[in-house]
Amino acid sequence: MIKVGLLGFGFMGAAHYKIYQNLPDVQVSGIFDVDPEKVRRGNIAGGNIGDGGEQPDLSGVKVTGKAEELINDSDIDVIDICLPTFVHAEVAVKALNAGRHVFCEKPMALDPGECDRMLGARDRSGKNLMIGHCVRFWPEYALTRQMIREKRYGEVNSAFFRRLSPTPSWSYGSWLLQEEKSGGALLDLHIHDIDYILNVFGQVSGVSSFARQNAVTDRSGVDYVLTRYATESPALIVAEGGWHFHDSFPFNMSFLISCEKATLEFDAGREKTLAVHTGEGRTEYPSHSPATGWDEELKYFVNCVMEGKSVDLSPPEESKTAVEVALMEREAIRTGKAVTFA
């Protein structure tokens, strides 16, 4: 039995809790939140995918306002961090130092130095650290990666990724709209596509980015970004991300990838989410698991912990690179010039 201490019970914490309830041999032993009363009252935060849903059954689960009670509990195997991004590094380092395995929501942290502190603590502890880059585990994205890697439809000519959200007003105290706490839409939302691009196309050598800043996020926070990525692939690779859209706008998570022999189209809002349009005038809808990337990533992580394996499908070193690429984009936006990897 793997025992989990869940830190943060907002949108993502509640989603993780529900997934753990359905995983065999996993038990959430305790939940920490700065506002434990809110957790006990059952106020589940909304989010961009799903509305938070029903309050899960928390009977038998300790709810505490002191994170240390879970971090220092030697009966707990895994600390799962679903807290605002600006505390990820500090809390992950404490948990690793205390001998716990750590699953931490994306983005890994707000800058590469914080990521390095987390990696150093992981190395010293010998425990697992994995960041919740769920898109590489999302069944349609995983299947598409496989098609691209095995060149089922030839080389990729162009790839366009889109992630658009209503303004995340649901976050606790609106922390997502404070640039120094969340990194804005660049680090919080758009980084999902950065991680997938790195995962599929390999190292990004440069970016050209254009943005709208400070429409809904404070300071110079990025609300909307369009980036072209230079990689080893000759494909034109572009991603669009933004969260300045209005409440009734449906969350959009999609891609359009054109290969030599087929166009691969994904739209999370459609009934048949993944389509393959081939040169023979046919459209096929490949079958895939109905699970979400959140289900798949947590199942994978728990399995790695149980079997004493490292998290090779999503190493935290690659999650750090995603943060670095996001910061390259921020620099390209600031300077108005293309930025290459140092």
Ligand X SMILES: NC(=O)c1ccc[n+]([C@@H]2O[C@H](COP(=O)([O-])OP(=O)(O)OC[C@H]3O[C@@H](n4cnc5c(N)ncnc54)[C@H](O)[C@@H]3O)[C@@H](O)[C@H]2O)c1
Q: Which residues bind ligand X (CB under 6 A)?
A: 8-13, 33-35, 45, 47, 82-85, 87, 105-106, 132, 134, 171-172, 188
User: Closest separation between CB of residue 47 and ligand X, Å?
Assistant: 5
User: Closest separation between CB of residue 37 and ligand X, Å?
Assistant: 10
Q: Using CB positions, name the residue nearest to ligand X.
A: 10
CA neighbor of 84 nearest in space, from 146, 10, 148, 166: 10
In the bound state with ligand X, the residue whose beta carbon lies nearer, of 8 and 259, is 8
User: Closest separation between CB of residue 70 and ligand X, Å?
Assistant: 12
In the bound state with ligand X, the residue whose beta carbon lies nearer, of 172 and 210, is 172
Q: How far apart are CA 38 and CA 296, in angstroms?
A: 28
- The structure tokens listed for 137 are 């585990």
- Paired strand residues for 166: 245
Give DSSP secondary structure letters for 272-331.
S-EEEEETTS-EE--------HHHHHHHHHHHHHHHT---TTS-HHHHHHHHHHHHHHHH
* CA distances in angstroms from 142 to 34, 199, 297, listed in the order given: 35, 10, 11
User: Closest separation between CB of residue 85 and ligand X, Å?
Assistant: 4
In the bound state with ligand X, the residue whose beta carbon lies nearer, of 153 and 183, is 183
Residue located via tokens 């933004």: 242
User: Closest separation between CB of residue 138 and ligand X, Å?
Assistant: 9
* CA distances in angstroms from 250 to 43, 159, 245, 264, listed in the order given: 23, 22, 9, 22
Number of C-alpha atoms within 13 angstroms, CB side, residue 151? Answer: 5
Give DSSP secondary structure letters for 6-50.
EE--SHHHHHHHHHHHTSTTEEEEEEE-S-HHHHHHT-----SSS
In the bound state with ligand X, the residue whose beta carbon lies nearer, of 87 and 327, is 87
In the bound state with ligand X, the residue whose beta carbon lies nearer, of 8 and 77, is 8
In the bound state with ligand X, the residue whose beta carbon lies nearer, of 33 and 223, is 33
User: Closest separation between CB of residue 4 and ligand X, Å?
Assistant: 16
User: Closest separation between CB of residue 235 and ligand X, Å?
Assistant: 25
In the bound state with ligand X, the residue whose beta carbon lies nearer, of 45 and 76, is 45
Exposed (0-12), middle (13-18) or buried (19+): which is 324, by Cβ within 10 Å? middle
